[in-house]
Structure 1
C-alpha cells in the first residue's frame, strides 16, 4: 500500500510548534507529514516588501520562527499560498491542510484534497450553536470587518472581539472572553489557527463552551484521512 502524505501550509513559517501537536493528536502517525510555510526562508525585510498590507485592505496575522507576530496582506498572500499548494502537490501530498482560518477565494489543487478551515468551521459551528449567540475572538481588530462575511450562516450575527494568540497575554484573552460573555455570548470561538489548547483552558472558567478552530480542522481532516 502506498504511503499517504499530508501537507500542512502555514501563511507564516514552518513548522508551527504551536499547531503541529494538535494535528498529531487527531491524525494517524502512519501518515507522513510535510510542513511548509509561505514565508519560509524570508527575512523581515523581504516579508514586508512582498506582503505588507496597504490602504486598509484585509489583513491576516501569523507567527514567524523567531516568535514575532507579522501582519500580512490577504490579497498579496493569496498568490503565495497558491504557489506553495502547487509545490506541496508536486511533493506527493494526498491532502493539504491550510493553517489559516482567513478566507481565500479560488485556491485550487489538481489532485490533492485541499482542506480550508474557513470552508469547514462556519457551517459546523452554526450547527452546534443553532439559535444561541456566538462570540468570536479574532487575532486582530481589522478582521472583525474583513472576515465577518463567512458568518452569514449563523442565525444571529456573532459578537466580535480581538485578542492576539501571539503577542497577547492570557489575562488579555480572559478579559476579552469576559467582555463577550457580558454581551450575551453563549459560546466562544477562537478564530485563528494560532490559538491553542492553552488558550482554551484559560477561557473555560467563564462557564461557556470554547471552540478551538485548529482542533475542528484537525478532526475534520482525520475523518477525511480515515482516522
Structure 2
C-alpha cells in the first residue's frame, strides 16, 4: 500500500510526544504522522499574557513543547489552528487529526478532518443510553463548562477535574470521585490523558474508560485500511 501522510494539529506546541507514544504503535507502517502546533511560534510567557481567558470564555488547556501546561481561550487559538490546517493541506497530507476535544466553530478544510469532540460526544451518547457518565476535565474552571457542553449533547454527567499535565496523584484522586457512583463509564475529556492514566482510572473505579486519543486514531485507521 502507498504511504499515507497524516497531519496532527495540537492547540499547544509540537511535538506532542506525550500523545504520540500512545498512538504511533496503533498506526500501520504505511502511515506517517507530521505534527503542527498552533502555538509553535510563541513563548509560554506570550501565551499566558496574551491568550488568558476571561470569565465568559471557553477555556482550553494544552501542553507546551517543554511540558508545561498552558491555559487559554478558544477564540484566540481558533485562527492559529486554521493556519495549521491550511499549512498541512499545502504540504500534502491525506487527513488531519485535531489533538483537542474542545468545542470549535467549523474549520475550513479540503481533506478528511477528524475533530474529536463531535465524534466523542456522539459515541458516548450511543454507548450511555439513558445512563449517566463520568467526565474528567483538566481544570476546575472547565467543570461547569463540561456540564453545559455535554448537556447540549443530551448526556447526563458527573464531572470533576485533574490535569494530565501536572501531578499523577491528582488523577488518582479524581478517579476516586467516580468510585461507587452509578455511571455507565468514564470519558477523559482531553487529548492529554494517557493510556497509563486510563488504566489507573479503570483500576480505581472498576468502570470502562473512553480515551479520545486512541479512539480517533482507530477511526483514522479504519478509514484508510
TM-based fold match above 0.5: yes
Unmatched tracts of structure 1, length 5 or more:
none
Structure 2, gaps ≥5 residues long: none
Tell me if the contact between 1:22 and 1:218 (Cα under 8 Å) persists in the aligned partners: no
Q: Residues 168-183 of structure 1: matches in 2 within 5 Å?
A: 168-169=167-168, 171-183=169-181
Classify the secondary structure of the residue corresponding to 1:18: helix
Deviations 1:62-108 (A, max 9, x none): 11111111101111111111111111111111100000000111212
Question: What residue in structure 1 maps to residue 76 of structure 2?
Answer: 76
Q: Which residue of 2 aligns with 1:201?
A: 199
In the other structure, the counterpart of 1:22 is: 22
Q: C-alpha distance in 2, partners of 1:223/1:152?
A: 28
Which residue number in structure 1 is paired with residue 31 of structure 2? 31
Between the two proteins, the alignment pairs up a number of residues equal to 223
- Conserved in 1, the CA contact under 8 Å of 2:5 and 2:95? yes
1:49 shift after superposition: 4.4
d(CA) in 2 for partners of 1:51, 1:84: 18
Give SS of 2:33's match.
strand
- Separation in 1, partners of 2:34, 2:78: 20
Looking at structure 1, the residues matched to 142 and 105 of structure 2 have their Cα atoms a distance apart, in angstroms, of 16
Q: Does 1:146 align with 2:139?
A: no
Give the structure-1-normalised TM-score.
Answer: 0.91
Aligned residue for 1:142, secondary structure, equals helix
Q: Deviations over 1:175-196 (max 9, x none)?
A: 2122123443231111110000
Do the aligned partners of residues 151 and 114 (structure 1) sit closer, same or farther apart at CA in structure 2, a change above 3 Å counting? Answer: farther
Task: Give the C-alpha shift of residue 217 in structure 1.
Answer: 1.2
State the partner residue of 2:127.
128
Q: Normalising by structure 2, what TM-score?
A: 0.91
How far apart, in 1, do the equivalents of 2:3 and 2:49 lie? 39
Say whether the 8 Å CA contact 1:58–1:142 is kept in structure 2: no
Contact 2:7 2:35 in 1 (8 A): yes
Mapped to 2, the partners of 1:45 and 1:181 lie a distance apart of 38
Calculate the aligned-residue CA RMSD, in Å. Answer: 1.8
- In structure 2, the partner of 1:8 is 8
Question: Are 1:54 and 2:54 matched, yes or no?
Answer: yes
